[in-house]
Amino acid sequence: MSPVGEKLRVRSRMFPSLINCCTLNWFDSWPQEALVSVANQFLQRVPVHELTVKQKESLSELFPIVHKSVESAASRFHLELRRKTYVTPKSFLDGINLYLKNLKENQQNHNNQVKRLVTGIENLRKTTEQIKDLQVELTALRPVLKKNTEDAELQGHEIELK
């Protein structure tokens, strides 16, 4: 019976002695080797372009260490404050899934920033090319502009004289 969902509540109503007369030990801790194996299985699903083999091996060693340290902190918490907290295999799996979710979000964020940077650099390159083309055009049009300015001045003098 999982404590999550309707089944436990319904079963408790049907058999109240389960709650009143029993002490339940819900959670058994997993051995280190099992935690490493489960972490390996979860990390094998991650594509190679997201995590290298070496990173996967390191993470599969790290997750069990973190989980065991949380278990020891929970037992210290129980000894000091007399409040029981449970560190379950499900919390181990949730920790791995949370890491993978954050990894994916961070990689998407990184990819979006790279796209924005590449787009910005491309736009700057195009703008630089356009400026160079305009400078070449302007250099080519300077004599024409100078001649037109002189013609306009001559016409202005002629109009003033008339």
Render pLDDT for 96-141 as a digit per residue (tens, 0 to 9): 999 999 999 999 999 999 999 999 999 999 999 999 999 999 999 9
Query: For the chain, what is the domain count?
Result: 1
54 lies in which domain range? 6-161
Q: Does residue 85 form part of some domain?
A: yes
Q: Does residue 1 form part of some domain?
A: no
| pTM assigned to the model | 0.64
User: Which residue, 58, 71, 72, 60, is CA-closest to 34?
Assistant: 60
Q: Does residue 14 form part of some domain?
A: yes
Question: In the structure, what pLDDT confidence band is assigned to residue 41 with cuts at 50, 70 and 90?
Answer: very high
CA 147 to chain centroid, in Å, comes to: 62
Q: Is the pLDDT of residue 1 over 60?
A: no
Q: Does residue 93 form part of some domain?
A: yes
